[in-house]
Structure 1
Amino acid sequence: MSSLPTVILVHGAWHTPPNYKSYADALRIQGFKVHCPHLPTCSGTSPPTASLADDVAHVQKIVQSTVEAGEHVLMIMHSYGGGCWDRGCRRRAAGLAGGVIHLLYLCAYILAPGSTIWEIVQEAGFDKLWDLYIDTAPDGSTAIKDPGLGFFSGNADQAVIDKALRTLVRFPSSVFYEKTTGSAWQTVPTTYISTLKDYAVPKSYQDIMLAKVRSQGAEVKVEEYDADHSLFITMQSDMVRTALKAAVDERNSI
């Protein structure tokens, strides 16, 4: 590949694009063009009105316009963002330029078709602890009760944590029960970054999901990091290097 692909960076639940600004800027310094769309579910609207389907459609629209412009795309998906893009977009077989060449999941939900986030929570046995850590308001919105603990492992500078937490919003509880529809990981080369100190998408969740998608024939390259859920902040340099590796992965089809 003669140049780096365009990155479409899909943020997580409760997050907004400003939370990823430092990471996006670091990717741009390396030569990536970066788009970080604002997911409709993370608008802070009360009561919440957007759904997982709205997020998928929003991301798909940006992916489609990017590849139709002939650009190659590296999808980088963090946390809930992993469930917000579910289609393959490989155009070479049709003689078309552009396409999604790689999926990079950062401690993200990688879900089999027809499954939900809540099913993973239940299978890991965390459903009984949900209300201890998640605040669900009467309007159907949620927030992590202690986001500093939920997203960071304690080794981040407090000023960095405080800045990150100011960009968070409430998130619709209904999304956790919505079924996914696609399986882009079956047709697009995939790398999964697994995090050992993750309190938002614990390692047990990650292992369950990876086992499920592998049982459906997915070939996923897994890299483990002794990192927390906000590794795009706390291990930013490593995650930039990971993106560079994914961009030139020998499995990529361009």
Structure 2
Amino acid sequence: MMYLVFVRLECTRKQNFPKPSTLSRTSRDRRTPSSHPACDGQQMQVTIPQPRAVLIVTGAWHVPGHYQKLVAAIESRGIRTICETLPTNNNVVPPNTTLQDDVDFIRSIVAKETASGTHLTVLAHSWGGMISSSALADFAVPRGSTQGGVTDLIFMCAFVPREGESLYGVSGKQPPYLVDENNIMVCRDHLKRFYNDLEPEEAAWAESLRVAHGTVAQNTPLSMEKVAWRTIPLSYIFCENDEAVPLSLQKMMVGRVESDGISVKQYSLAASHSPFLSMPDKVADIVEEVINRVSE
């Protein structure tokens, strides 16, 4: 995305023109102020790139460290990337944060970027789809806008709620591998559910970074008037080998969006629930494609 500004150019450095006495009359007549564009005081049109960035909204239990391979892959393409820890992803027991804390946190980041004129592409993973859907509708900006805001959503094996739904309202029930222990949502068989396409050593490393996530957050229905994917173009990355959010559930959620008359650009990866670890470059390629499409 580009926008235009106008600058007034003035002569700021001494020019070594020959002295008038050494010039012929014809040469002196030909030398006018406009013969040096930096000295004519006229306005010139200059094109400056619209600031752009990617905001990664993480999944439950996960922290920015999990996404650093993906951050590096996106930034290697010249795209600034933001990834912060959600308030609900902490090790406080009993939990002291809610879904609304996550929503307010993401809104504060987006508001700051919007005020700076940044065009954001929001990449939401898993639980991040709940937060992004709830937080971002007010920040939608169309292609060609010179205002900051969110131009595009990319959901990566993420939940796609409608208005008034909780996470389990989307899926219809709490998965059997998730259990509530002292108001903390605990994932059993987590290596299989989250990291089944990683080498054992990397899977163990990823597991060592995981933090607690409260049950209340996942049981809380969204309370905003309109979910963001109704106002911001949505792309979806299907993860075919996901054992946490099965492919059938991913397709059901996208199907609901399209049944509401909204087109979804679809991509598919032969990945687990964690393509940001197993195939970060392929995810980054999709992100770059979406950004370039939005920027056309």
| Length-normalised TM-score, structure 1 | 0.89
What secondary structure does 1:41 align onto? Answer: coil
1:231 and 1:91 map into 2 onto residues whose CA distance is 28
Which of 109, 117, 121 pairs up with 1:74?
121
Structure-1 residue corresponding to 2:292: 248
Partner residue in 2 for 1:214: 258
- How far apart are residue 82 of structure 1 and its match? 0.8
Cα 1:224–1:13, aligned 2, differ >3 Å: closer, same or farther?
same
1:23 aligns with 2:70: yes
Q: Does 1:188 align with 2:238?
A: no
Mapped to 2, the partners of 1:217 and 1:53 lie a distance apart of 28
After superposition, the C-alpha distances for 1:33-57 in whole angstroms (9 at most, x for unaligned) are: 1111211100111100111111011
For the residue of structure 1 that corresponds to 2:123, the secondary structure is strand
1:170 equivalent to 2:217? Answer no
Q: 2 CA distance for matches of 1:152 and 1:12?
A: 13
Q: Percent identity?
A: 27
Matched, 1:225 2:249: no
- Alpha carbon RMSD of aligned pairs, Å? 2.1
Q: Which moved more, 1:208-217 or 1:238-247?
A: 208-217
Aligned 8 A contact 1:195 1:203 in 2: yes
Partner amino acid, structure 2, of 1:167:
L
2:179 maps to 1:120: no
Report SS of the residue matched to 1:56: helix
2:131 to 44, 64, 84: 84
CA–CA separation in structure 1 for the residues paired with 2:220 and 2:119:
30
Distance 1:121 1:92 in 2: 31
Pair 243,91 (structure 1): closer, same or farther in 2 beyond 3 Å: closer
Q: Distance in 1 between matches of 2:262 and 2:101?
A: 26
- In 2, the alpha carbon distance for the partners of 1:238 and 1:5 equals 20
User: What is the one-letter code of the residue matched to 1:102?
Assistant: D
SS at the partner of 2:107? helix
Partner of residue 202, structure 1 = 246
Amino acid of the structure 2 residue aligned with 1:113: E
* Alignment-mate amino acid for residue 199 of structure 2: D
SS in 1 for 2:92: coil
* Cα drift, residue 169 of structure 1: 0.9
Residues 114-152 of structure 1 show CA distances to partners (whole Å, capped at 9, x for unaligned) of 112112332xxx64x52xx123212x0022112110112
2:14 paired residue number: none
Of residues 127, 136, 153 in structure 1, which corresponds to 2:180? 136
Shift of 1:174: 1.4
1:179 pairs with 2:226: no
CA contact under 8 A between 1:186 and 1:217: conserved in structure 2?
no
**Per-residue deviation at 1:188?**
1.2
Q: Write out per-residue CA displacement over residues 78-124 of structure 1, whole angstroms, 9 at most, x where no aligned residue.
A: 0000111232313469x7522211101110011111112112332xx
Task: Return the offset for 1:253.
Answer: 7.1
In our comparison, the structure showing a higher alpha carbon Rg is 2
| Equivalent residue number for residue 41 of structure 1 | 88
Alpha-carbon distance between aligned partners in 2 of 1:236 and 1:143, rounded to the nearest angstrom: 26
Preserved contact between residue 198 and residue 229 of structure 1 (Cα < 8 Å)? yes
2:202 matches 1:160: yes
* Alpha-carbon contact 1:92-1:98 (below 8 Å) kept: no
